[in-house]
Structure 1
Amino acid sequence: MTISLDHRKGLLITAIGGLTLTVDIPLIRLADGDPWTILLLRSGATLIATLAIWLIWRKLRGDAPALIPGRAGLVVAALYAGTSIAFMMAVFNTSTADLVFILAFNTMFAALLSWLLLKERPRPATLVAMAVMLLCVLVIVYDGVGTGKLLGNLLALGSSFLLASAITVTRRSGQDMGFTALVAVSAPLVIAVFMVAKTGYNVEAPWWIIFNGAVIMPVSFFCLATGPKYLSGPEVAMFYLLETVLAPIWVWMIFSEAPTAAVLAGGAVLIATLLTHSLWQLNDSRRRRAALAVRHPA
């Protein structure tokens, strides 16, 4: 009974995090400003909210994890900072559909990095999924050649790779990096302050991006980071696909930004591949646990 209740709790918490994250890009677009001003407001609001939560946690319970745990924490923070900057630049240089479909590729980047750095060799099914997803991403990126979106697509690929690198370093360190991704926005914040001082402050609706940074980012990251306490890795990973599926729909509904046929085709195959691979991992892990339970009965 306890296991069932914990599993349901994990599904609810992680679903809230995944659904919350889907409005990130629409809120950035609604703010209607230049990239550096948006980055300044979003990063500043996130940093203030994160520090407030951490200080309250520390005062009430006294067991708040370190904001940046050691050298590994510094590396992870730097990777998340690079991810944030590349992501923001990609938002303003490519379509939402291109961006979220390419960002979904971070799952396969993480598998490849784990193979190279952690010596965790992917199974044949994972290698096949990686090959299919690579072809999908190449279709999406190629569709942007000559349309002015190529730079944005390459930035999205860079953001995806940096995010996968941050996940890999976190796994290798074994440290609690719960707050590290959030306080990492301090580096983009400093750069954004410098750039805004040069180019000027420009945003039409700042309340959208302040709400995004102060509420959406902390809630989504906290819930998605809490999910693994109750769910397996493959289950949690599937909730990240919600942004890939829903963000382009919200943008399509709000801004009438319809994806091209090539992007829709590549994205559909990419999502199907990710979902199939995640479900395969989940079923395989359940079979292994069942077999282990039979061999070693309580």
Structure 2
Amino acid sequence: MLLRLTHGGAVWLMVAVTLMWATAGVVTRHLAQAHSFEITFWRSFFTMLALLVILPLWRGRAVFSQIRSGGRELWISGVCWTVMFTAFMVALTLASTASVLVTMSLGPLLTALAARVFIGHRLPVRTWVAIVVAGLGIAWMYGTQLVQGGAAGGSLLGTLVALCVPLAGATNWTVVQHARAKGHDIDLVPAVLIGAALSALLTLPFALPFQANAHDLGLLAFLGVFQLAIPCVLAVLCVQVLKAPEVALLALLEVIFGIALAWIGAGEEPAASVLTGGALVIGALVFNELLALRGRRATVADTALPSAH
């Protein structure tokens, strides 16, 4: 299946992708009986099933041979996706949607730091300024939760678990870039399938005994197919057309959409500390990526990975 996107089409498709990603919080709040690891298991399981159908139709059956011959880097990337899939859903059961999404939005800045430390990319002053401002925002949000014992937008544990998502994303980016520098191009789509399969396998023992009813399974199937599998595939198409700063800016819409949907659809009003810290983080990211778009020179550091979770 081939899909040629114009730049404008890719922008609007990426907006739709962020809206699909953003449904996780509000849908999770309407689950009746499923508990944390069971939620993670079923979402990953349904994602795996959906990708097993989508990928052969899109890439042909050769996609499965790519998994067998993908090498160590592909499997490391798959493990990173596993961490992202698992930590995201567990975090949503422990903290507010707003806290989780704001924490996860640190991904681009943590990726920039990883590029500096492990690959030696020089960071412009604007990125260092963004890192400091975003760090202050996160420190305010985490510090308020610590002082208030988990009130004001969710537990500290949940936001700490959510921090695993951007950390795994930065690790994934570093592995992919290192592999490409050696001439080994990692196909992200099989890596996502590996991540979903490993997440389902690893969380299965903790998900038993199953408590989800038919209503819960329907919602979890929706998350697996329409919140994760389909937008993952669409995001891969988008990053083939859009520049990394554009992807990073558009991805921030997930935070706005996710908080709004959870507020409107589940009555989950974000705490003042989360809104304040989130404003600093989002403002720093927008500042950094807008200036990046003005830059004339594209570097290897501008390669973007879709931030599926």
Residue 13 of structure 1 and its aligned partner are, at CA, apart by 2.4
Q: What does 1:1-298 correspond to in 2, within 5 Å?
A: 6-32=6-32, 33-59=34-60, 66-67=66-67, 69-145=70-146, 146-147=149-150, 149-174=155-180, 175-197=186-208, 199-203=209-213, 205-285=216-296, 288=297
Cα distance change on mapping 1:59 and 1:76 into 2, 3 Å: closer
Cα distance change on mapping 1:31 and 1:279 into 2, 3 Å: same
Contact 2:116–2:122 (8 Å) recurs in 1:
yes
Contact 2:55–2:63 (8 Å) recurs in 1:
no
Distance 1:206 1:63 in 2: 28
Aligned residues: 281
Contact 1:17–1:222 (8 Å) recurs in 2:
no
Percent identical among aligned pairs is: 23
TM-score (norm 2): 0.85
Contact 2:47–2:229 (8 Å) recurs in 1:
yes
Residue 63 of structure 1 and its aligned partner are, at CA, apart by 7.1
TM-score (norm 1): 0.88
> Can you give the 5+ residue segments of structure 2 that lack an aligned partner in the other structure?
181-185, 299-309
Distance 2:229 2:29 in 1: 19
CA deviation string 1:3-34 (max 9, x = no partner): xx721222132222222211122222223320
Residue 72 of structure 1 and its aligned partner are, at CA, apart by 0.2
Distance 1:104 1:10 in 2: 21
Q: Which amino acid aligns with 1:213?
A: G
Residue 54 of structure 1 and its aligned partner are, at CA, apart by 1.8
Distance 2:141 2:235 in 1: 27
The structure with the largest alpha-carbon Rg is: 1
> Can you give the 5+ residue segments of structure 1 that lack an aligned partner in the other structure?
290-298
Superposed CA RMSD: 2.0
Cα distance change on mapping 1:234 and 1:65 into 2, 3 Å: farther
Q: Which amino acid aligns with 1:201?
A: Q
Contact 2:26–2:258 (8 Å) recurs in 1:
yes
Contact 1:9–1:230 (8 Å) recurs in 2:
no
